[in-house]
Amino acid sequence: MKKKFIAVLLTVLSVSLILAGCSQKTTEIKIGGVGPVSGEAATFGQSTKEGYELAVEEWNKAGGLLGNQIKLIFQDDKGDPTEAATVWTKLISQDKVVAIVGTVMSKCSLAGAPISQANKVPMISPTSTNPKVTEVGEFIFRACFIDPFQGTVGAKFAYENLNARTAACIFDVGNDYTKGLSEFFRDKFIELGGEIVAFEAHATGATDFKAQLTKIIAAKPDVIYISDYYNDVALIAKQARELGYTGPLVGGDGWDSPDLVKIGGKAVENGYFTNHFSKDDPSPQVQEFVRKYEAKFGKTPDALAALAYDAMVIMLDAIKRAGSTDPEKIRAALAATNIQVVSGMISFDKNRNPIKSAVIIAIKDGQQVYQTTVNP
């Protein structure tokens, strides 16, 4: 009987020790990260993923968040809205993340944002510039300037710096980002006194743009505005040059990929695009970020990496200031953001869009060259 009692006692003690060990185990704060590491914008997704990882690594080395380590759970949305909705649901329902940083493309953020809003899971997109994204609701934020500002900057640059008085636009009709950007460029260019001589749409996935470009070039524009992503931009530029167009090309931040020059070659020379970040910016925050990124990944960061890093820092900073993972408190802290990040001093307007500056990047001799900074 005595032996049986001792055996039971030892068992109870063992279980108690196991439970005590479990209770002392460090709790992780789970943050979802989303980007397209496969599909049409895969280089964007890779840069984005690396930006997230660098920010989380730094915070964990500095002690984590609210006394816990941060666990980044990254999902590939493949640049597809249906896939984006699937991974959003998984992150919230299965992984139980407290917040989501993502995603890159506006069409995918527009698929994920309603899910975040319905579940009250705070979300910040690093690079989705379509205004509709944050209009979904009060839990949705972004780290990048929006298409109206980007389109306006592009139009002003074309009219005032390139002295263009006529312009043509070409865009992917199935993409909210490219269509919206061209519309905002068109409206501002006309407002400035310019004339839009052609406004041509192409189908998603098209590789032959000569029908649209033939109409555009026949109209003799001073500048062609190409609002597509880098793959299409490179092909459009090559075909435009083949058809005899020698003038400047202007576009948005969708141009920002090393593959633009790899695919487009000399055709993208005399090209300019609006962007959120330049590695050549002499500010201490930019140069420190470039140094850290190059040390970790062995390459120079692009704007996608910088904005992803910034978006993650903004989210982690908000959770820290909230002092809690309660979604309402995180949302309130995000709205009150006023911090210096890599892409500039950032705060949010009433629609949860950032108030920040933009830069113009030129393509010269196969390189991205900082041109100028435009303030809001």
Asked if 301 and 239 sit in the same domain, the reply is no
**pLDDT attached to residue 235:** 98
Q: What is the pLDDT of residues 24-42, one digit of tens each?
A: 344 899 999 999 999 989 9
CA angle 342, 347, 353 (to 5 degrees): 100
181-197 average pLDDT score? 97
175-191 average pLDDT score? 94
pLDDT at position 160 over 90? yes
Asked if 43 and 69 sit in the same domain, the reply is yes
CA angle 196, 151, 232 (to 5 degrees): 80
User: Is there a domain that residue 94 lies in?
Assistant: yes
What does pTM read for this prediction? 0.76
User: Is there a domain that residue 250 lies in?
Assistant: yes
- Report the chain's mean pLDDT, rounded to a whole number: 92
User: Is there a domain that residue 368 lies in?
Assistant: no
Q: How far apart are CA 116 and CA 367, in angstroms?
A: 38
pLDDT at position 85 over 50? yes
pLDDT at position 376 over 80? no
CB 353 within 8 A of CB 124: no
User: Is there a domain that residue 22 lies in?
Assistant: no
pLDDT at position 13 over 50? no
Domain range for 125: 28-145+282-356
pLDDT at position 8 over 60? no
Q: What is the pLDDT of residues 331-363, one digit of tens each?
A: 999 999 999 999 988 999 999 999 887 889 999
Asked if 89 and 197 sit in the same domain, the reply is no
User: Is there a domain that residue 134 lies in?
Assistant: yes
Q: Give me the torsion for CA of 206, 207, 210, 211, rounded to 10°.
A: -20
Asked if 270 and 160 sit in the same domain, the reply is yes
Q: Given pLDDT bands bounded at 50, 70 and 90, which one contains residue 72?
A: very high
pLDDT at position 207 over 60? yes
pLDDT at position 73 over 50? yes
| Four-residue CA torsion sign, 293, 134, 372, 223 | positive
**pLDDT attached to residue 20:** 40
pLDDT at position 6 over 60? no
Strands (E) in 2-89, as ranges, are 28-35, 69-76
**pLDDT attached to residue 147:** 83
pLDDT at position 21 over 80? no
Asked if 262 and 159 sit in the same domain, the reply is yes
Asked if 130 and 165 sit in the same domain, the reply is no
Q: What does each C-alpha distance from 10 to 1, 2, 17, 21, 372 come to in angstroms?
A: 14, 12, 10, 16, 73
Look at the chain and report how many structural domains it folds into. Answer: 2
Asked if 119 and 135 sit in the same domain, the reply is yes
Of 254, 275, 296, which residue sits at a domain end? 275
Asked if 59 and 125 sit in the same domain, the reply is yes
Where is pLDDT greater, at 236 or 257? Answer: 236
User: Is there a domain that residue 239 lies in?
Assistant: yes
Of 275, 303, 324, which residue sits at a domain end? 275
**pLDDT attached to residue 40:** 86
Asked if 169 and 209 sit in the same domain, the reply is yes
User: Is there a domain that residue 334 lies in?
Assistant: yes
Of 275, 308, 329, which residue sits at a domain end? 275
pLDDT at position 15 over 50? no
Q: How many CA atoms lie within 13 A of 72 on its CB side?
A: 28
Asked if 203 and 296 sit in the same domain, the reply is no
Asked if 122 and 43 sit in the same domain, the reply is yes
CB 258 within 8 A of CB 280: no
Asked if 160 and 139 sit in the same domain, the reply is no
User: Is there a domain that residue 13 lies in?
Assistant: no
**pLDDT attached to residue 345:** 87
Residue 79 sits in a domain whose CATH number is 3.40.50.2300
pLDDT at position 297 over 50? yes
89-113 average pLDDT score? 97
